[in-house]
Structure 1
C-alpha cells in the first residue's frame, strides 16, 4: 500500500543539521509516511550522516539530482512520490512530533486539497535575530474551509500569508493533474510554486499551529548577501505569475485577482530594491544574460523604479551592452537633488 504522506527533503551541505531534521520525522506520532531525501550535489558528509541517522529505516528513500539546485531536487522527488499528501521539508529545519498526525487528521476530516500551517523561527545567533527578524508565529487565525482562491484572499487580507512551499500540505492528485513542478534554475522558487498551487485547490484551510521549526542560520539563501540570483528569482516568478493571472482572470472573482496582482507588485518591488542594493554595474552585466522579454520586464519593473527610488545611474546614462539608456530628466533631477 502507498503511504499516506510523502515528505520531500532536498539535501545540500547540511551535515550539521540533517540528523535533527530526519530524527524529527522518525519521532513522529504518525508512522505511515515516506521521506524522499534527494542529494543535491552535497560536497560534505550530509548523505553519510543522513543514512547513519535513519539506520536502514525503509521509509527513507535516497535519490540524487546532481548539483542543480533545490528545484531540481524537489522535482526529482515529485517523480516518485506515492503518498496521498505531500509536504516539503528543508533539511536544516524540523517538525514537532505531532505534525504529520495533526495535518493528516485535519485534511482527512475536512476533505482538503491544501492545508496551510504555521512555523516558529529560531536563530543560531543573536546577530541573526537582529539582522534577519522573521516573525512566523504571530499569524492571525483564518477559520473555516475555503477554495484555494478564497483562502488566499483571506490570508493576504489578515497578513497571515507566507509564500513558503514548506508551510502547506497538498493533495498529490491535485498536483499531478495540473502537472505542477518547481521552476528550475532560480531561487525564490517557493513563491511561484505556492502561487500556482493555491488556485488549484477546491477545499483549503489554515491550521494556525507552529508545527514547522524554521532555522535561521548564516550562509543560507535567506541570510546571504543579495545578488543577481535574487533578482532573477523574483523576476522569473513575477513574469510567470503575471502571465498566469492574465490568462485565468475570468475564472476568478475580483478580490482574488486584486490580491494576486498585489503580490506580483510586491515581488516587483523586491526586484527594484535589489537593483538598488546590488548596484548598476553588476545589474548591467546580468541584464546582458537575459532574454529580450526578461530585459524589458527588468527595465520596466526593476531598473526604472530603482532609479525613481534614488539610484544613481552613472551620473547621466546607464550603458547596457550596445544600447545607452538615457535617464529621463525628471528622474535625473530627483537623483541630483
Structure 2
C-alpha cells in the first residue's frame, strides 16, 4: 500500500498535539512518516509530540522552524517529504478513523487521480456544526480552480485533502499573509490536478470565530494589499482574470462583514466599495446591498441632528 507523509505545523501546541497525533494512530498502516514542524514554540510542543509518537509507534520527525507562519512551516515539510502522497492537518484538529484510507482508496480506484478531497466536520467555539461536503468538481483542473476562487466550490479545509507529491511539485504556500494562503495554494495545485471526491468526513476542524475574525481587523488595508499581490500571481497558472477579481470581491466582503459586526462602519464601508466593484454572484450582490443600506442608516442616525433628536 502506498505510504503517506503527514505534515503538521505546530506553534505552542503542547495542549492539543497529543490528541491530534493519537487521532492518526488508526491509520498507521498507510503512514510512512509524520513531519511535525515545531515553529518557534515557547512551550513543550516538541517534547509532548515526541513522547506521544513513541507511545503509539508513529514514525515522526520533528523539524525546527522559526517561520512563525503555518504556510512557511508546511513549505519546510514539503521540501523534506519522502512519500508519494501528502496529507496535512493542523496541530489542534482531529483526524477521523478511516478517513486517510478512504482518500487513498479513492485515489487508487481511478487511474490518474492525484488529488482527493473529502468531507469534514466543523466545530466552532466548541459547538458541532453540520458536515461540510466537498464541491462538485469537473474533469478540468483549470475550471475547478476558477470555480474554487469564484466561491462556487466550497473551500478545502487543510485536513480534508490528500494530494500527490508529484502534482504539488514546486508549488508552495505563500508566506506572510494573514488569511487565505490555503486558498491560493489549493488553487495552484488544483489547476493542474486530476481530482476526485469522497463524501466520508475525514477530520474535525476546530475553529475559534473570534480568532478567525481578528485576522481581518489588524492593519486591514495593508494586509489586504499584501494578500491581493499574492492573488495576482495566479494568472501564471492559467486562471482567468475574472476569477481573481471575484475572489478579491469575496474577501473584501468578508472583511466588510467583520468590521460591520464589530461596529467599525467606516472601515466596513471602504471594503464594501471594493466588493461592489468586483464581479459578484447574485447572493453577494444582495449582501452588498444589505450592508450598504445598514451603513447608510447608521450614518444618518449618527449625525449631530439625529443625535439631538434621540436625546
TM bucket, shorter chain: 0.7 to 0.9
Show structure 1 runs of 5+ residues with no match. 284-296, 313-331
Structure 1 residue 301 and structure 2 residue 291: aligned?
Answer: no
Find the partner of 1:190 among 168, 182, 188. Answer: 182
**Given that residues 21 and 94 in structure 1 are in contact (C-alpha distance below 8 angstroms), is that contact kept between their aligned partners in structure 2?**
yes
1:41 and 1:157, CA in 2 relative to 1: closer, same or farther beyond 3 A?
A: closer
CA RMSD between the two structures: 4.0
Q: Tell me the distance in 1 between the aligned counterparts of 2:230 and 2:157.
A: 17
Q: How high is the TM-score relative to the length of structure 2?
A: 0.74
Tell me how far 1:242 sits from its aligned partner: 3.2
Tell me how far 1:222 sits from its aligned partner: 2.3
Tell me how far 1:90 sits from its aligned partner: 0.4
Show structure 2 runs of 5+ residues with no match. 279-287, 307-311
Deviations 1:258-309 (A, max 9, x none): 55542332123234445655859999xxxxxxxxxxxxx9898389999x94
Of residues 14-23 and 260-269 in structure 1, the stretch that sits farther from structure 2 once superposed is 260-269
Tell me how far 1:240 sits from its aligned partner: 2.5
1:114 and 1:125, CA in 2 relative to 1: closer, same or farther beyond 3 A?
A: closer
Q: For residue 200 of structure 1, give the secondary structure of its aligned residue in structure 2.
A: coil
- 1:318-329 aligned at under 5 Å gives the runs none
Deviations 1:73-116 (A, max 9, x none): 11111110011111110011121121221111211221212211
The alignment covers a number of residue pairs equal to 285
- 1:58-97 aligned at under 5 Å gives the runs 59-66=59-66, 68-97=68-97
Of residues 22-31 and 32-41 in structure 1, the stretch that sits farther from structure 2 once superposed is 22-31
1:199 alignment counterpart: 191
Tell me how far 1:195 sits from its aligned partner: 2.0
Q: Tell me the distance in 1 between the aligned counterparts of 2:136 and 2:277.
A: 37
Deviations 1:161-201 (A, max 9, x none): 1143433211111212xx21111112322122122222121
1:112 alignment counterpart: 113
